[in-house]
Amino acid sequence: MKTIADLGDLRGKRVLVRSDLNVPLDGQSITDDGRIRASAPTITMLSQMGARVVVCAHLGRPKGEPEAKYSLAPVARRLSEIVNTPVAFAEDTVGPAAEVAVAALEDGDVLLLENLRFNKGETGKTDAERAEFAGRLAALADVFVSDGFGVVHREQASVYDVAKLLPHATGGLVESEVNVLRRLTAEPERPYAVVLGGAKVSDKLGVIGNLLGTADRLLVGGGMVFTFLAAQGHEVGTSLLEADQVDTVKGYLERAEKEGVEIVLPVDVVAADSFSADAAHDVVAADAIPADRMGLDIGPRSNELFAEKLADCRTVFWNGPMGAFEMEPFAEGTRALAKTLADITAGGALTVVGGGDSAAAVRQLGFDDSQFGHISTGGGASLEYLEGKELPGLTVLDSDEVSDEVSDGKDA
């Protein structure tokens, strides 16, 4: 894949940058600006090169039309603070406001377009629908830079189709994400452990199957662990359980034993009588969860066990919290795991936090990004990469072909 350095002199050129600025909002307040900060270096570099930078991104899941609560206006304000330069904001994506704002750009200026998903064509179900919208985006630019790693597993107009219409390259964020993931899949330094948590085992079946041929150890926590415990024949009470996946998990446990992959499950859990921060709770053995209680975190002995199993690891990938970390009584398992990873990072291990809830958790619990080897901006994209799937937003960048119809970005 080409990088920005391969694009030559960009001074005076309109560069469309697909960033991932899908940050959590509380009203107009951004509660975690990690993705904005991760996107800023590429935007700053292009601005300093004299490009006329046109940033596009999505926020939330609007239904193809404007919704005020999903406006990127707060993101434009925060981006301006982070890149330390004014960021103009267009109140539409490809309409009159965007056209006027792009035309007004001078060398080094930065503009953020309104939410891509306010347009049905962004996530259109047909190639034609996406291509029409991609053409209108391409008409705003001369060059395309793909820097939204969190969306490269989606075949969407601003990720996939627009790359066919303009000279293109990967941005620094996507380049760094791919380089780290390659280190996890191509001869990782061993011992190599993968820690998986989060709510559903079904979300991670593909990656578990693929990792059984790669990882040395697989540590399982979060809501998904109860399907593993049920597969071993244990009572899980009212805990989250995917009963239709029990047989599949049994197969993975048998396969892991045959292939010499150690699967580590919690030995105790924090069990509560309801899903609430105020719920009565106590620590019980993982194989003795009361029938009327639900597990909401891994327990203290499990924290010690996981720390022991990770202590000698040279490579660790973590995706998914160990419990309902948003509620303080059930946050200690995730906090303890983050502390363990920070410690082995300081000792020289490569630790990768796989985006999504895991990234939000470590920040919410008071850890700094610098305490880990890498915090991914794309949980789903990371998992699909590790699963061995092709990511459309990356494969399209491998081609140097640009459509004759829109090769100058002005004929769509």
Catalytic (active-site) positions: 35, 200, 356, 380
The answer to whether the beta carbons of residues 358 and 352 sit under 8 Å apart is no
Is 35 labeled as ligand-binding?
A: yes
Residue type, 211: L
Residue 127, marked binder: no
With tokens 């377009």, the residue in question is 113
Question: What is the token pair recorded at 79?
Answer: 């981006």
Tell me the residue ranges of DSSP E strands in 217-356: 217-220, 262-264, 268-272, 281-285, 294-298, 315-319, 350-353
- Please check if 59 is assigned to a binding site: yes
Asked whether residue 213 is marked as a ligand-binding residue, the answer is no
Q: Would the annotation count 14 as a binding residue? A: no
Instruction: Please report, for residues 20, 53, 123, 143, 250, the alpha-carbon distance to residue 16 in angstroms, rounded to integers and kept in the order given.
Output: 13, 6, 18, 6, 48
Q: Does the annotation flag 61 for ligand binding?
A: yes
CA dihedral 20, 22, 24, 27 (to 10 degrees): 130
Asked if residue 303 belongs to a known ligand binding site, the reply is no
**Dist. CA 44–CA 154, nearest whole Å:** 25
| Cα 202 to the center of its chain, rounded Å | 18
Q: Does the annotation flag 161 for ligand binding?
A: no
Task: State yes or no: 20 annotated in a binding site.
Answer: yes
154 is in an annotated binding site: yes
User: Per the annotation, does 356 bind a ligand?
Assistant: yes
For the annotated binding site for (2R)-3-phosphoglycerate, the residues are: 35, 117, 154
Residue ranges of the binding site for ATP: 204, 295, 326, 355-358
Residues at the binding site for substrate are 20-22, 35, 58-61, 117, 154
Binding residues: 20-22, 35, 58-61, 117, 154, 204, 295, 326, 355-358
